[in-house]
Amino acid sequence: MAASKRKHASGQPCIIPGGFAVLSLKFSSDSAAQHTVYVKEHKVRAEKNSHRPLDRTLFVLNIPPYCSEAVITELFSQFGSVQSVELRDHPGSFQESGPKLSKLFRPAEKKGFKVGYIVFQKSSSVSSAKSHPADEPLVVCTEQRPVKTGVQKWIQQYTESFIQPDKLQQKVDSFMEGYDKRKREAEEKQKEEAEQEQEDEEGWVKVTKGHKGAKARPHSEAANKRTLQKEIRKKKRKELMNFYSWQQRNTQKEHIADLRKKFEEDKQKIALLRQQRKFRPY
């Protein structure tokens, strides 16, 4: 299918199939080359969280590698106050991976074009970004907002790769403090659950309903130990309740053993009489 030769009207937004609006980027004001990004209002019904509100989130495709989250924040602030910016390698749902880790504890990020989720303070900022004219490119690198590329960027990355020992120690200490805190909270929660499940004097176990959507947890070593202790207590109570019946069963066993012993002795006597040929049953 041949491309349309009709040019887009000057000063008007360019909308392509799929509902994406076209925005042009220029690295600097004197750059002749332009880069194209595609923006669209983020509307995913399956994603229900407060981090990406559907009415204030702008979905951006084809973000160049030299644009960091700080650069994107400054670049789109002209359409309104930016609340947060998230850059990812591929589009997808928001995933919380526990506490926010330092770059020292995260794997190296992939270099390449990315997708972004820009959350504005107001919903009108999304419409402003979508209605921006396609023939008015946004300038990435300015005097107020310099962006390093090429050799300068490599030198900066190499310099930042060296970490001062005192700063590293502070980050490790803060990480371990958070880890110890989460570990104590988990132990306290486990102790509370064990106390709730503990049997009373009559052997009743209190069962409580978990929160909605809770999944069954696999048996841990502590849970198996508690189950074993319950079985031992039940066995002891059963032995105490059947004390006299156990005595009766023991007496019956002893009586049966005596009868078997006498029967064997009688068999031996009969065999001895047969050998002596003195056995006359008739």
Residue 188 in any domain: the answer is yes
pLDDT digits (tens, 9 = 90+) for 31-66: 888 888 999 988 876 666 667 888 889 999 999 888
- pLDDT category of residue 138 using cuts at 50, 70 and 90: confident
Across the chain, mean pLDDT equals 78
Q: Is 28 a residue whose pLDDT tops 50? A: yes
Residue 137 in any domain: the answer is yes
- pLDDT category of residue 214 using cuts at 50, 70 and 90: low
State how far the Cα of 171 lies from the Cα of 197, in Å rounded to an integer: 39
Which domain, by its residues, includes 58? Answer: 14-160
How many Å is the maximal CA-CA distance in the chain? 135
Residue 9 in any domain: the answer is no
Q: Is 211 a residue whose pLDDT tops 60? A: no
Calculate mean pLDDT across residues 243-264. Answer: 81
Look at 75 and 219; give whichever has higher pLDDT: 75
pLDDT value, residue 241:
56
Residue 209 in any domain: the answer is no
- How many CA atoms lie within 13 Å of 217's alpha carbon, on the beta-carbon side? 10
Integer-rounded Cα Rg, in Å, for the chain is 40
- The CATH number of whichever domain residue 105 belongs to comes to 3.30.70.330
Q: What's CA 45's distance to the chain center, in Å?
A: 21
pLDDT value, residue 39:
92
Task: Yes or no: say if 58 and 129 are a contact pair by the CB < 8 Å rule.
Answer: yes
| Claim to verify: residue 96 and residue 142 sit in the same structural domain | yes
Indicate the DSSP class of residue 199: -
| Claim to verify: residue 138 and residue 189 sit in the same structural domain | no
Tell me the pTM.
0.54
| Claim to verify: residue 84 and residue 122 sit in the same structural domain | yes
Final residue of a structural domain among 149, 182, 197:
197
| Claim to verify: residue 87 and residue 178 sit in the same structural domain | no
Angle (CA) 143 158 171, round 5° = 100
Mark 141-157 as b/e (b = at least 16 C-beta within 10 Å): beeeeebeeeeeeeeee
| Claim to verify: residue 169 and residue 244 sit in the same structural domain | no
Look at 188 and 4; give whichever has higher pLDDT: 188
Calculate mean pLDDT across residues 181-210. Answer: 71
Residue 81 in any domain: the answer is yes
Final residue of a structural domain among 145, 160, 175:
160
Look at 240 and 276; give whichever has higher pLDDT: 276
- pLDDT category of residue 1 using cuts at 50, 70 and 90: very low
| Claim to verify: residue 145 and residue 180 sit in the same structural domain | no
Look at 6 and 221; give whichever has higher pLDDT: 221
| Claim to verify: residue 22 and residue 156 sit in the same structural domain | yes
- The contacts of residue 61 (CB under 8 Å, 6+ apart) are 20, 37, 38, 39, 40, 115
| Claim to verify: residue 147 and residue 176 sit in the same structural domain | no
Count of structural domains within the chain = 3
Classify the C-alpha dihedral 13-19-21-22 as positive or negative. negative
| Claim to verify: residue 44 and residue 66 sit in the same structural domain | yes
- pLDDT category of residue 197 using cuts at 50, 70 and 90: low
pLDDT value, residue 118:
92
pLDDT digits (tens, 9 = 90+) for 95-129: 555 556 666 666 666 778 889 999 999 989 998 98
Q: What's CA 113's distance to the chain center, in Å?
A: 26
Calculate mean pLDDT across residues 168-173. Answer: 84
